[in-house]
Structure 1
């Protein structure tokens, strides 16, 4: 079930959000490619990239642990945006772009509605000024409350037992953040968190939340 109505003050600020997904055709891309992807789209569609409500996912594939991701038939370039802005992204179809020295081509897009889930996960959330786990979680909780979302933020633990701390390179700078799960969400809050996200750099893959299924797959 997709939630389409609520009584929140956030209603009607945008049309319903969707994900538009382009197949990625190529061999490899850099593991840290978010800024390069943002820059490539900005070069092709400078007006579109400035639109409010636009978030760009990290492209998934098979990492080789040496700074490269190997693409597969399932690799997609996804953009989350209000549905009335979807036509603005159509010109990306069929385009070749470069992520560093790695060429990729974008296929024909598909559109998917957001689906609610009791637990959502973001690969990386960055909140300016908060680089330690405890203060980061407190800041994340404040942002959830500002969005009127009732949920429990948790930083996942990696296999080595450490908190899921990550970085992203933006030009000459390295930005620190954490993987983040938000649990105990109702349907309305789940959709709202997927629409608005938390933290910054959402056009560079940060703060974008996706449902976690029962087998812990995102």
Structure 2
């Protein structure tokens, strides 16, 4: 049974609640391109109770890749945290407002968050989805489809291609080891399934930026930068 379904059984009240996204403005210069684990560690240092919480997803901070292992931040860079819409859950991360996060040798300051409801989109993408023990494209795609089926989500699951015409393989570093995954796009979603996929995600490591689905412009081709 997939991780999200296990969480649902363990805490059905939490998972049945509407989810929202807290968006913090970010002031800084650069971050490592692979900063999911470092970001989660920095947040957990300030908000230690987040370790024990189910249903919380932390997106990596957006920026312009410099092709040398870093991203350059801009006024559009945001830290987005997705979580159930309850005072208790939101109170867990509100202490981040105005704080400075140290990620490796980089430092960023967070602004006051805005709260947005999740909106349905016909197609969604995740930069990286990781599923334990599945590191080759076809078995991974089959495992991801089983997770969609278990959630009762109907959609067309696609592994977008890179510049070489191959499924876009990604990796994140956690302490001393790397976790391999793939970019995933799901199209032809109805409103209910779109919101469900944004709420549950796929795979694991949701607090490190993995398995989180977001919208992208309709005109965008299925190639991942």
Q: Same fold (TM over 0.5)?
A: yes
Query: Which stretch has the larger CA shift, 164-173 or 13-22?
Result: 13-22
Give structure 2 stretches of 5+ with no counterpart: 1-8
User: Which among 23, 34, 47 is matched to residue 21 of structure 1?
Assistant: 23
2:41 alignment partner in structure 1 = 39
Task: For residue 113 of structure 2, give the secondary structure of its aligned residue in structure 1.
Answer: strand
Structure 2 CA distance, aligned partners of 1:125 and 1:131? Answer: 11
Instruction: Indicate the RMSD between aligned Cα atoms, in angstroms.
Output: 1.8
Alignment of 1:56-75 (within 5 A): 56-75=58-77
Kindly report structure 1 stretches of 4+ aligned residues shifted beyond 6 Å.
none
Which residue number in structure 2 is paired with residue 134 of structure 1?
138
Match of 1:101 in 2: 105
Q: Deviations over 1:6-39 (max 9, x none)?
A: xxx9985332101101011110111111100010
Distance 2:136 2:104 in 1: 31
Whether 2:164 is the aligned partner of 1:160: answer yes
Q: Deviations over 1:57-111 (max 9, x none)?
A: 0111111000111100000011000011122211000001111000111111011
Which structure shows the bigger proportion of residues in helix conformation?
A: 2
Q: Which runs of 5+ in 1 are unaligned?
A: 1-8
Distance 1:48 1:171 in 2: 19
Mapped partners of 1:152, 1:192: distance in 2: 15
Q: Secondary structure at the match of 1:66?
A: coil
Match of 2:218 in 1: 214
Task: Show the counterpart of 1:145.
Answer: 149
* Partner of residue 118 from structure 1, selected from 119, 122, 132: 122
Matched, 1:170 2:174: yes
Separation in 2, partners of 1:184, 1:117 = 9
Q: Which residue of 2 aligns with 1:189?
A: 193
Moved more, 207-216 or 75-84: 207-216
- 1:30 and 1:130 mapped to 2: Cα distance? 26
Shift of 1:118: 1.2
Give the deviation of 1:51 after TM superposition.
1.0
TM-score normalised by length of structure 1: 0.92
Q: Counterpart in 1 of 2:55? A: 53
Report the alpha carbon displacement of residue 215 of structure 1 after superposing the two structures with TM: 2.2
Task: Look up the match of 1:82.
Answer: 84
Residue of structure 2 equivalent to 1:3: none
Structure 1 residues 41-50 or 163-172, which shifts more? 41-50
Distance change in 2, residues 1:11/1:50 (3 Å)? closer
Distance, in Å, in 1 between the alignment partners of 2:114 and 2:82 is: 12
